[in-house]
């Protein structure tokens, strides 16, 4: 009987076939995403309000790589090298950071609605940015006017970190962090920060109110090499740490106690993920304002396509987030050229209907 069962191509063999099929499918998705991302990078550097022929763009890039060329037209080279290139790179970095942060938070909190904002970063950063915009002139006097470039991002970054630290302290007892407490405290802290931000909006004048609104809609418009150099060392550690976190998060999906008994260093994973996410999101918010949607939808898209294994989910979320943000930024730059749309509008307007369509198309409800 058992021999007969083994002789026949049983369920195990079928599973292997399915697994092989899935792997091929996964490879296809990965390669497709890489190709799309590369294409969008080239498009992002190649198109814009100033029309420069692709050959000229390539020439400028080559000349830069091979060490300067006096024949380069100043303005075109400036547009390609100092406006578009840092902008595309910042988009890649911020997009990857936000999407990975979303995937990590959803895994850590075992909650499909979790997003990077959950660790309090967005609320704190938002409050600090509002305070900088509204009170900056009064508190810092002339200094704010001379250094507004540095004050706002720095304020937002610090605000994000402080609120995360606060949440982490509230939720940690005897060396154990309760994600449930953190979730609830995060909601409370978010409400408090929202109230204070509202108060600041109330005392602000018209111009400050508009600044506030634009900031909360996000933009890659301020990208520069300086900003990139400031942000990259803060976001990249998160991306490099993904292999360290993936296996632990897979274990956590079973539950915290189960993961602990499987030998997953639960507390260390939690602390590492929260700190890296707070840093990355704080830096993203500081560099590009609030860009919603990427952190919540990109990981779900990847899950819908490839399943919940974090070893695939995390790196592909990074790739997907980078691709989405660069694409959205190209649209933001071109639709109302020579003006530009706030990026947050584009990410949500492009992503939300697509995501809804994907959800509707599925026969079953989604499990995270």
Partner 1 sequence: MPDRPELPFRKTARPDRREILAAVGLTLAAAAGFAGPGAIVGPVVAQKSDRIVALGGVVTEVLYALGLEDRIVGVDTTSQFPPEALRDKPGVGYVRALSVEGILSLRPSLVIAIEGAGPPDAIALLKEAGVRLVTIPEDLSEQGVAVRIAAIGAAAGASEPARRLAETVQAGFEELAALRARVVGKRRVLFALSLQNGRTMVGGANSTADAMIRLAGGVNAAAGVEGYKPMTDEAVIAAAPEVVLMMRNSSGHDATPEELFAMPAFSATPAAGARALVRMDGLYLLGFGPRAPLAARDLMAAFYPDAAIPALKTAAAP
360: left (phi over 0), alpha (psi -120 to 50) or beta: alpha
Least distance from partner 1 to the Cβ atom of residue 329, Å: 11
Name the residue nearer to partner 1 (CB basis): 84 or 270. 84
Closest among 157, 166, 138 to 280, alpha carbons compared: 157
CB 286 within 8 A of CB 90: no
Least distance from partner 1 to the Cβ atom of residue 222, Å: 4
Q: Which residues contact 107 (CB under 8 A, 6 or more apart)?
A: 249, 252, 253, 310, 313
Closest among 132, 135, 104 to 118, alpha carbons compared: 104
Helix, strand, coil percentages (3-state) for the chain, rounded to 5, are 80, 0, 20
- Phi/psi at 112 (5° precision): -65, -15
CB 294 within 8 A of CB 324: yes
Least distance from partner 1 to the Cβ atom of residue 68, Å: 17
Least distance from partner 1 to the Cβ atom of residue 317, Å: 23
Say which DSSP state 177 is in: E
Name the residue nearer to partner 1 (CB basis): 26 or 135. 135
Least distance from partner 1 to the Cβ atom of residue 190, Å: 25
Name the residue nearer to partner 1 (CB basis): 81 or 262. 81
Name the residue nearer to partner 1 (CB basis): 25 or 225. 225
Name the residue nearer to partner 1 (CB basis): 83 or 266. 83
Name the residue nearer to partner 1 (CB basis): 61 or 262. 61
Least distance from partner 1 to the Cβ atom of residue 147, Å: 9
Residues that bind partner 1 (CB under 8 A): 43, 46-51, 53-56, 73-75, 78-79, 82-84, 148-149, 202-203, 205-207, 210-211, 214, 219, 221-222, 224, 227, 330-331, 333-340, 342
Name the residue nearer to partner 1 (CB basis): 53 or 194. 53
| C-alpha distance from residue 165 to each of 121, 186, 205, 327 (Å) | 9, 11, 32, 33
Question: What is the rounded distance in angstroms from the CA atom of residue 299 to the CA atom of residue 116?
Answer: 12
Least distance from partner 1 to the Cβ atom of residue 71, Å: 12
Burial label for 270, CB within 10 Å (0-12, 13-18, 19+), is buried
């Amino acid at each position: 009987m058992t021999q007969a069962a083994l002789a026949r191509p049983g369920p195990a063999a079928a599973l292997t076939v399915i697994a092989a099929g899935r792997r091929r499918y996964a490879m296809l998705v990965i390669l497709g995403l890489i190709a799309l991302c590369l294409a969008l990078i080239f498009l992002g550097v190649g198109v814009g309000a100033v029309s420069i022929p692709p050959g000229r763009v390539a020439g400028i890039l080559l000349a830069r790589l091979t060490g300067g060329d006096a024949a380069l037209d100043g303005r075109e080279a400036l547009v390609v090298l100092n406006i578009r290139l840092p902008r595309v790179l910042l988009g890649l970095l911020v997009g990857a950071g936000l999407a990975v942060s979303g995937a990590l938070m959803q895994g850590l909190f075992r909650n499909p609605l979790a997003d990077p904002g959950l660790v309090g970063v967005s609320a704190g950063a938002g409050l600090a940015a509002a305070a900088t915009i509204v009170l900056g002139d009064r508190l810092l006097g002339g200094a704010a006017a001379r250094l507004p470039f540095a004050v706002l991002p720095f304020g937002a970054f610090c605000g994000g970190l402080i609120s995360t630290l606060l949440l982490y302290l509230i939720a940690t007892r005897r060396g154990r962090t309760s994600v449930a407490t953190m979730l609830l405290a995060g909601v409370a802290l978010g409400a408090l920060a929202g109230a204070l931000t509202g108060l600041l909006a109330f005392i602000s004048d018209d111009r400050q109110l508009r600044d506030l609104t634009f900031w909360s809609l996000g933009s890659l418009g301020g990208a520069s090499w300086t900003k990139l150099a400031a942000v990259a060392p803060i976001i990249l550690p998160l991306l490099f740490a993904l292999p360290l976190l993936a296996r632990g998060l897979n274990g956590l999906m079973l539950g915290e106690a189960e993961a602990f008994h499987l030998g997953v260093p639960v507390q260390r994973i939690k602390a590492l993920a929260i700190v890296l996410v707070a840093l990355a999101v704080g830096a993203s918010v500081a560099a590009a304002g609030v860009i919603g949607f990427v952190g919540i939808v990109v990981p779900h898209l990847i899950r819908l396509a490839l399943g919940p294994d974090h070893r695939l989910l995390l790196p592909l979320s990074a790739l997907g987030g980078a691709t989405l943000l660069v694409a959205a930024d190209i649209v933001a730059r071109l639709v109302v050229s020579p003006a530009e749309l706030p990026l947050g509008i584009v990410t949500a307007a492009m992503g939300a209907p697509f995501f809804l369509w994907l959800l509707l198309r599925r026969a079953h409800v989604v499990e995270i």
